[in-house]
């Protein structure tokens, strides 16, 4: 059964959501998980891609965009609407559309105080609950 963690940020800051996504990505990668950061758009995927190089001094997270034809990497970043990479353990979802959670051991949903994203988060929570997934909420 998949586990879904909802991370609720105290403010409405898109950059804060991306920064938390990078921190979670680094932690998961260090634990040996294959990670997919699912961005809302190609633009956001590019922003996360850039941020993964700079979010913390001395950090290194080997990653690539899903649109890149590259060798195997443990972390992928891509926009919603494109098929996810194969054999991924952990999905960090920044997009607001519906997607199939099957195949992921863990999913992270990052919600902030933006009213639209909060409502979307509530819908996602209900959706996952109806599927019988294990849910956890972390208020940051």
pLDDT in tens, 94-109: 998 888 888 889 999 9
**What is the domain extent for residue 123?**
3-139
Residue 15 CB-density burial (10 A; 0-12 exposed, 13-18 middle, 19+ buried): exposed
Specify the residue for token string 């599927």: 131
Bridge partners for 76 per DSSP? 36, 64
Total structural domains in the chain?
Answer: 1
pLDDT in tens, 13-24: 899 999 999 999
Q: With residue 125 as reference, give the H or E element that holds it.
A: helix 115-130
How far are the Cα atoms of 3, 44, 99, 128, 133 from residue 48, in angstroms, in the given order? 23, 6, 20, 25, 27
């Amino acid at each position: 059964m998949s586990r879904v963690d909802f991370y609720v940020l105290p403010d409405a800051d898109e950059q804060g959501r991306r920064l938390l996504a990078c921190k979670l990505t680094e932690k998961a990668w260090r634990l040996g998980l294959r990670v997919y950061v699912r961005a809302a758009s190609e633009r956001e995927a590019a922003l996360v891609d850039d941020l993964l190089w700079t979010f913390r001094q001395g950090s290194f997270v080997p990653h690539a965009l899903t649109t890149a034809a590259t060798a195997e990497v443990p972390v992928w970043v891509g926009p919603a609407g494109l098929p996810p990479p194969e054999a991924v353990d952990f999905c960090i979802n920044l997009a607001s559309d519906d997607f199939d959670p099957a195949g992921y051991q863990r999913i992270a949903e990052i919600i902030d105080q933006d009213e639209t994203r909060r409502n979307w988060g509530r819908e996602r929570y209900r959706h996952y609950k109806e599927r019988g997934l294990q849910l956890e909420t972390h208020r940051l």
